[in-house]
Each structure stands twice: as structure tokens, then as C-alpha cells.
């Protein structure tokens, strides 16, 4: 009999986690309509809206106006984002707009935020708009702004050379998405609709500007100011600008666009309407509001109850407490489980987004996932229930032949705009109806505003920069009335983040039931067994090792671990050590900015995060750049075993795990955290904090020839299985 001996005490999760009750029960909301509580209705008596129906559910909804002129929508433990008012009931919308909503967008009922805006029309007022993620803010502000434009066009002061609506977006992806929505809703108006973003031909954009009226312009700040300076027609047109919109207003400031925002506001005419839009009203949104709406009264349309979270309630959310060295196998299990579950429930493949906090980590996780998740598809027989097709059959379930391939995509700020757009389009249009699935691995470049319809699962790897960012990331699923699920992988050192989520976002996250501490420990054991037997080279599960007791380990899990192990090993063996070390440093760069806000323990973070090196057999932590040292080595802990990378590490050419054709190689090594990589101001400005560029290193100096073989146990085995590079030094 085998007895499982953990030679790696850290490998087993010992910490206990209190399992709290989820406040976001899956599909909790679809009961409803019956239950508007009299006590609540009397609290909000001024304006009670009728209830209704949305795409997927029955909702109850009512709103109220209080004295401070802030309108709250009272969600009343429902996930209601739609009101029962069909668009056709709104008489205040221009008929051409209405026509487009019906025939081009094909929307039936208005969402709450849309109802809020439309109820105010016609209006020249300034609006500060807050509504939950994925609840249709884009169309809401477009409808409002277009009404103002239509009115202006009909007025005697109309000048055909003037600009109608200028919409500022923090990222190119979002700008292009808004542009597409604007084209649709402006269909019958025959407006000129433009998008000005970096990474694409400025000449072409200027050509368009000269050719067509500037009715609606969507732009990122950098390219906008660039064209503003260089195009007389554009400059003249802005003198009569009617409406200025800042979408994802706080992100503009988060990304360091303060100066650009200030310039844009300064250069616009004072007489205009303003819309400020976000799913979260941080201090920063109010900062823009102060600038843009200075001295003017504005109406705050807050569609989220102050006691509620900004995330739609039907998104089931949980955390998985797990060490970084277990991520890949856990991903293998989590993703396969999600895909299987979704196919069984709906007959469809999955659309999944995985968020990481640095470009380096995003690229590494993408490459790893390609090794063990992507496949060319196979036909499988599935018996599934509740499928959208099940009505075609007499029974509740039926056998179905589906293809079962998984495509893996990756977007981050170091990719060219052309590649970003292409991948974004592919993922957006990915068809899951034949059982195929798609996974997008991305940085926060895709966290805000970006709409990938049909995304049913969002997985966050590690804590994001703010609790608001968590809600924006989660908001990529559960959109437009659809259901969705979110999970976050959290290392023990990051647990304070989960508590902050509760405090700041009122999100009481529960531990995952399926991947709780015990389940994660099982994963670890199974992987250890496979790893052990692989190292003995005696075949998986053979009987001639008396150190391991595998009887308690589920046979299927062992088989899955072996399958994963074999596939992942082929990737890890060829991965570039320097890329992996850079990933580790970039992650610490990300955590550096969280230390204070989430009261994280620096030495614990270093220890936890360094486990990301283990699957690649890297034993010693690389030396940290001075910018990080100051934050992470204050007490001298956490650096035992740190090793300086130096020239003596060089052993010839790279193994080429990441070959140079990858976009991630293209740019500088600085600016690992690309929440700024999506800046669009003509050049990439790396944040000092995360710019750990070490120009003196050349890639070949850190070739991976000397990297160890894959081993989850390398920590325990010293050098016997892990060849350390020379030149190690403590930091």
C-alpha cells in the first residue's frame, strides 16, 4: 500500500476558512413580482413604477425620488434591472431612435437606468449616472444625448459644422464598443458617427472627419487631443459641442488621464450638457463631476440602492483559498467543471473570462492554459436537461452529440491594437451553441464596460487593485438579464481583500462549495501522487512504491491529475525562466499598491506569491527591484533564498517557451501592470511603481536552460531535482 507523504508541508492548506452564507444565491431573484412590501413602498412613495418583465425573468421594481433629488432604485432583493415598460410606451423618444431600438437593437423593455434617463427627457440637465454592471448604461446615455442633439438640429441656432456628442472612453476596446452601439441607435438618423482611438491610422480617422458630419464622436483621450490639435475642422466643430459624455469616468482618472480630462473640459464650450457614467461612484467620479459640472446643478441618477452591491444579484460568487503553486491544476478542474456544468444545463459551451493583474501573468497563464485546456474538439454524448432545445423533445433530457473544443484567447496592453481588436471580436462573436467553449485570459483592460455577450463565468486570479475593480470584472458576466457565475482565487495572504469586499462593496463572499479547502487539498494530494510516480518513472499508480497511500484518492481525480500533469509539463519544461520570474515580480508590483488599502502583510505576500515559481521548478526567489524592496523587505523577512539574477546565470540560448513572435515580447520590459497598458495617449507611459525595467539584462543572460524540471515538490528536494542557477545570492 502507498502512504501519501507530504514532503512539502506548505503544499497542504492548513488554514481554516469560515464558510459564510452567500448573499448572492443563484437565480435568487426570479421570484418576485408578487412581493412589493407595503412598508417599503410607503418609504418610497413618491414614484412607484409598474413591474415587470424582462428578457429572462419576472421582476419587481420601484423607484423613488427623495428630497436631495437623488433617485434610488430599490431592488428589493431582486436582480431586477429591467422595468416592465416596453420602449414603445415612451412617447418622449424621437421616433427614429425608437425605430432603431426596436428594429436594429431589437430591445423590448427598458432597463432601469434607461427608464431613469428616458423619464427625464426632454432635458438639458447634467446627469451623473450610476447603475449596476451590464444593465445598459450605454444605450441610456446615448438615448439621452441623441435627444439633445435632435433638438439642437431642429433649432434655428443649428450649425451643420458643429459637433453633436463627444463621448470619452478610457480604453480603445470600450470606445469601439460604444461606437458600434452608437451606429446602431443612430441608424435612422443617418448621423455621422466616428471613433478616434490610438493604435489605428490617425490619417484615416481624420479623413473620415473631413468627409462626414461630426454628430457623434467616440474617443480615447490621447487620440482625441491629438486630432483636436491637428484638425481645424474638428477644432471648429467642438466650439458648438452639445453633449459631453465621460463613460467609466473613474477609470479615466485611475489610468492617469487627469490632465487630459482637464484639457478636454477646458477646451469644450461651457454651454453643453454633461453625462458622467459609471457602475461605481468613487471619489474620482466626483472629482471629474466637480470639474466638468463646475458650478452647475446636476441630477444624480443612482440606480443602486445604497445598501446594495453594484453587482447584479443573480451572479453567484465565491472565493477559493488556494496557494499559487496549485493554480494550474485548480484551473484545469474549475474550468472543466464549469464547461461540463453549463453544457449539461443548457446544451451550450461556455464563454469564460479569466482576469489577472499583470501583463506578464496574463501571458504565462494563457500559455499554460493552452497546454492543458485547449483541444481541437471531440464529439461527446451528453444527456442534458433544461436545454433551450429540450422543448423539441418529448422528455426532459436527451442525448446530444456536441463538439467539445475549447479555444483560448489572450488580450493585454502589450499586444498591438490590431491583435487586440481581432481577438476581442473573435471572443465576442464566439458561438457556443454547438458545444464549443472559449476562454479569454486578460488584464483589467477588459474589466470595464466591455461587453462580451454570453459570458457565463468570470474567474479572477488574485485580488484586483480595488474592490470596485472586483465588481467591474465580475460584471462581465450576468449581463443583459442573463445569469452568470464568478470565482476568485485567493492566496492566504490576500484574505483581507475578501473582508474588504464585504465592508466596501457589501459583498459577503462565500467559500466555493465545490472547491473548498478539502477539495483543494485533494487536488494537491492527487497531483503529488502523480508527480511522485512520474519522478520515479514507474508509471502512474503502480504498486511498487510503499511511501504513498493512494487508496483515499479518487481514481477519476488521479486520472485527471495525470492528464493535466502530462500536458502542463510539456509547457513548463519549455517555459522561459525569466518570463516566470518576471511574472512573479510583476505580481508583487501589483500587490505593492494594495499593501496599505487592504492591510496585507508584505512578507506573507512575498512567501505566498513566490509559490507561483514552484510549478516551473524555480526554487529561489529572484532579487526584487529596488522599487519593490522598499515595500517588501522592510522587516527583512520573506527573502530567504532570494537570488540575484546575474550574468553567470546565462547558459546559452533560451528554450523558447515563449518564442519571440509573441506580442508580449514586443514592447519594453517595463510597466508590467497594464491597467495602464491600455492608455491611449499616443505612447505608453509606465507607472513608476510598476516599471521594474532592468535594461541591463538581456534575455539571453537568463536563458532557461538551467531551469529545473517541473516539480511541485522542488522546495523539499533541494537540488536533487532542481538545478539551481549559479550566482545565487540572498537579498
Ligand X SMILES: Nc1ncnc2c1ncn2[C@@H]1O[C@H](COP(=O)(O)OP(=O)(O)OP(=O)(O)O)[C@@H](O)[C@H]1O
Residues in the chain: 731
303 binds ligand X (CB under 6 A): no
Evaluate the CA torsion angle 625, 631, 636, 638 in order and state its sign. negative
Helices (H) and strands (E) in the chain, counts: 23, 22
Q: Is the CB of residue 515 less than 8 Å from the CB of residue 19?
A: no
Is residue 383 close enough to count as binding ligand X by CB under 6 A? no
Question: Which stretch in 132-140, 296-304, 499-507, 525-533 sits in contact with ligand X by CB under 6 A?
Answer: 132-140
The interface mask with ligand X, positions 251-290, x = CB under 6 A, is ----------------------------x-----------
Q: Please say which residue, 185 or 550, places its beta carbon nearer to ligand X.
A: 185
Per CB under 6 A, does 480 bind ligand X?
yes
Cβ 110 to ligand X shortest distance, Å: 5
Residues whose CB falls within 8 Å of the CB of residue 231, separated by 6 or more in sequence, listed in order: 206, 209, 210
Between β-strands 379-385 and 397-403, what pairing exists: parallel, antiparallel or unpaired? antiparallel
Helix axes 327-346, 517-536, angle to 10 degrees: 120
Answer whether 658's CB lies under 8 Å from 575's CB. yes
Residue 141 or 384 having the CB closest to ligand X: 141
Figure out which of the listed residues 250, 308, 451, 607 binds ligand X, where binding follows CB under 6 A: 451
Smaller CB separation from ligand X, 107 or 564: 107
Span from 43-51, 133-141, 221-229, 347-355 in contact with ligand X (CB under 6 A): 133-141
Could you tell me the smallest distance in angstroms from the CB atom of residue 596 to ligand X? 27
Q: With binding defined as CB under 6 A, does residue 138 bind ligand X?
A: yes
Give the cell for residue 409.
Answer: 484567447
Could you tell me how many residues of this chain bind ligand X (CB under 6 A)?
21
Q: Which is nearer to ligand X, 438 or 510 (CB)?
A: 438
Report residue 392 as a C-alpha cell.
423539441
Of 202, 672, 176, the residue nearest 421 (C-alpha): 176
In this chain, which residue has its C-beta nearest to ligand X? 136
Closer residue to ligand X in complex, CB, 116/569: 116
* The one segment of 455-463, 474-482, 682-690, 711-719 that binds ligand X by CB under 6 A: 474-482
Q: How far apart are CA 273 and CA 141, in angstroms?
A: 11
Q: CB burial class (10 A; 0-12, 13-18, 19+) of residue 162?
A: buried
Of 116, 130, 137, 611, the residue at the interface with ligand X (CB under 6 A) is 137
Helices of type H across 540-644: 555-572, 577-592, 602-610, 626-632
Contact in structure between 165 and 268 (CB atoms under 8 Å) = no
Q: Which CB sits closer to ligand X, 83 or 558?
A: 83
- CA proximity to 246, closest of 215, 278, 217, 268: 278
Cα–Cα distance measured from residue 305 to residue 64, given in angstroms and rounded to the nearest whole number:
11
Is residue 473 at the binding interface for ligand X, with CB under 6 A as the rule?
no
Q: Which of 136, 435, 486, 677 binds ligand X (CB under 6 A)?
A: 136
Within 35-74, the residues that bind ligand X by CB under 6 A are 55
Residue carrying C-alpha cell 493512494: 550
**Binder of ligand X out of 75, 84, 413, 449 (CB under 6 A):** 449
Least distance to ligand X, CB of residue 85, Å: 10
Q: Which residue lies nearer to ligand X by CB, 414 or 476?
A: 476
- 136 vs 677 by CB, closer to ligand X: 136
Minimum CB distance to ligand X smaller for 131 or for 320:
131
Residues in touch with ligand X (CB under 6 A): 55, 107, 109-111, 114, 131, 133-139, 279, 449, 451, 453, 475, 479-480
Amino acid at each position: 500500500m502507498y502512504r501519501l507523504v507530504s514532503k512539502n508541508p506548505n503544499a497542504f492548506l492548513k488554514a481554516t476558512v469560515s464558510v459564510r452564507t452567500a448573499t448572492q444565491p443563484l437565480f435568487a431573484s426570479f421570484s418576485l413580482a408578487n412581493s412589493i412590501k407595503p412598508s417599503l413602498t410607503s418609504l418610497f412613495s413618491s414614484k412607484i413604477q409598474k413591474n415587470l418583465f424582462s428578457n429572462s425573468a419576472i421582476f419587481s421594481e420601484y423607484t423613488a425620488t427623495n428630497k436631495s433629488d437623488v433617485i434610488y432604485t430599490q431592488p428589493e432583493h431582486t436582480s431586477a434591472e429591467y422595468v416592465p415598460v416596453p420602449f414603445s410606451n415612451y412617447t418622449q423618444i424621437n421616433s427614429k431612435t425608437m425605430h432603431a431600438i426596436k428594429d436594429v437593437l431589437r430591445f423590448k423593455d427598458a432597463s432601469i437606468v434607461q427608464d431613469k434617463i428616458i423619464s427625464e427627457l426632454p432635458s438639458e440637465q447634467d446627469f451623473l449616472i450610476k447603475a449596476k454592471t451590464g444593465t445598459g448604461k450605454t444605450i441610456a446615455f446615448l438615448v439621452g444625448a441623441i435627444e439633445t442633439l435632435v433638438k439642437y438640429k431642429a433649432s434655428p441656432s443649428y450649425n451643420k459644422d458643429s459637433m453633436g456628442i463627444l463621448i470619452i472612453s478610457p480604453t480603445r476596446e470600450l470606445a469601439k464598443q460604444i461606437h458600434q452601439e452608437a451606429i446602431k441607435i443612430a441608424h435612422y438618423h443617418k448621423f455621422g458617427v466616428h471613433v478616434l482611438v490610438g493604435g489605428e491610422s490617425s490619417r484615416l480617422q481624420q479623413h473620415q472627419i473631413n468627409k462626414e458630419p461630426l454628430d457623434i464622436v467616440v474617443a480615447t483621450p490621447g487620440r482625441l487631443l491629438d486630432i483636436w490639435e491637428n484638425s481645424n475642422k474638428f477644432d471648429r466643430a467642438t466650439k458648438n459641442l452639445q453633449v459631453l459624455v465621460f463613460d467609466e469616468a473613474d477609470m479615466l482618472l485611475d489610468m492617469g488621464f487627469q490632465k487630459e480630462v482637464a484639457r478636454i473640459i477646458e477646451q469644450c464650450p461651457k454651454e453643453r450638457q454633461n453625462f458622467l457614467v459609471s457602475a461605481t461612484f468613487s471619489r474620482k467620479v466626483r472629482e471629474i463631476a466637480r470639474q466638468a459640472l463646475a458650478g452647475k446643478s446636476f441630477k444624480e441618477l443612482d440606480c443602486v440602492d445604497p445598501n446594495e452591491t453594484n453587482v447584479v444579484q443573480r451572479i453567484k460568487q465565491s472565493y477559493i483559498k488556494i496557494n499559487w503553486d496549485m493554480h494550474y491544476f485548480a484551473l484545469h478542474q474549475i474550468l472543466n467543471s464549469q464547461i461540463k456544468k453549463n453544457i449539461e444545463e443548457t446544451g451550450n459551451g461556455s464563454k469564460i473570462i479569466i482576469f489577472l493583474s499583470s501583463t506578464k501573468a496574463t501571458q504565462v497563464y494563457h500559455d499554460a492554459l493552452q497546454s492543458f485546456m485547449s483541444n481541437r474538439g471531440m464529439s461527446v454524448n451528453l444527456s442534458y436537461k433544461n436545454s433551450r432545445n429540450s422543448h423539441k423533445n418529448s422528455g426532459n433530457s436527451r442525448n446530444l452529440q456536441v463538439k467539445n473544443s475549447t479555444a483560448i484567447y489572450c488580450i493585454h496592453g502589450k499586444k498591438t491594437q490590431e491583435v487586440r481588436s481581432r481577438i476581442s471580436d473573435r471572443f465576442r462573436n464566439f458561438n457556443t451553441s454547438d458545444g464549443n467553449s472559449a476562454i479569454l485570459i486578460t488584464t483589467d483592460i477588459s474589466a470595464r464596460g466591455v461587453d462580451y455577450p454570453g459570458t457565463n463565468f468570470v474567474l479572477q486570479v488574485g485580488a484586483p487593485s480595488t474592490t470596485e475593480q472586483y465588481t467591474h470584472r465580475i460584471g462581465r458576466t450576468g449581463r443583459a438579464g442573463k445569469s452568470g457565475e464568478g470565482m476568485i482565487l485567493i492566496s492566504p495572504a490576500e484574505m483581507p481583500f475578501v473582508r474588504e469586499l464585504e465592508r466596501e462593496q457589501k459583498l459577503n463572499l462565500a467559500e466555493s462549495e465545490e472547491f473548498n479547502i478539502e477539495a483543494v487539498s485533494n487536488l494537491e494530494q492527487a497531483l503529488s501522487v502523480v508527480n511522485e510516480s512520474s519522478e520515479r518513472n514507474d508509471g502512474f499508480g503502480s504498486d511498487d512504491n510503499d511511501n504513498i497511500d493512494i487508496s483515499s484518492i479518487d481514481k477519476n481525480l488521479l486520472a485527471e491529475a495525470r492528464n493535466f500533469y502530462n500536458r502542463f509539463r510539456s509547457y513548463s519544461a519549455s517555459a522561459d525562466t525569466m518570463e516566470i520570474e518576471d511574472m512573479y515580480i510583476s505580481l508583487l508590483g501589483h500587490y505593492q499598491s494594495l499593501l496599505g488599502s487592504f492591510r496585507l502583510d508584505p512578507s506573507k505576500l512575498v512567501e505566498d506569491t513566490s509559490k507561483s515559481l514552484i510549478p516551473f521548478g524555480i526554487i529561489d526567489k529572484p532579487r526584487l527591484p529596488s522599487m519593490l524592496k522598499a515595500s517588501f523587505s522592510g522587516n527583512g523577512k520573506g527573502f530567504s533564498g532570494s537570488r540575484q539574477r546575474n550574468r553567470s546565470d546565462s547558459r546559452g540560448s533560451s528554450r523558447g517557451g515563449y518564442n519571440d513572435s509573441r506580442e508580449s515580447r514586443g514592447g519594453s520590459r517595463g510597466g508590467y501592470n497594464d491597467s495602464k497598458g491600455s492608455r491611449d495617449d499616443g505612447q505608453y507611459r509606465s507607472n513608476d511603481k510598476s516599471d521594474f525595467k532592468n535594461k541591463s539584462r538581456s534575455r539571453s543572460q537568463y536563458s532557461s536552460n538551467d531551469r529545473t524540471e517541473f516539480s511541485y515538490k522542488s522546495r523539499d528536494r533541494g537540488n536533487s531535482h532542481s538545478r539551481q542557477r549559479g550566482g545565487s545570492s540572498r537579498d
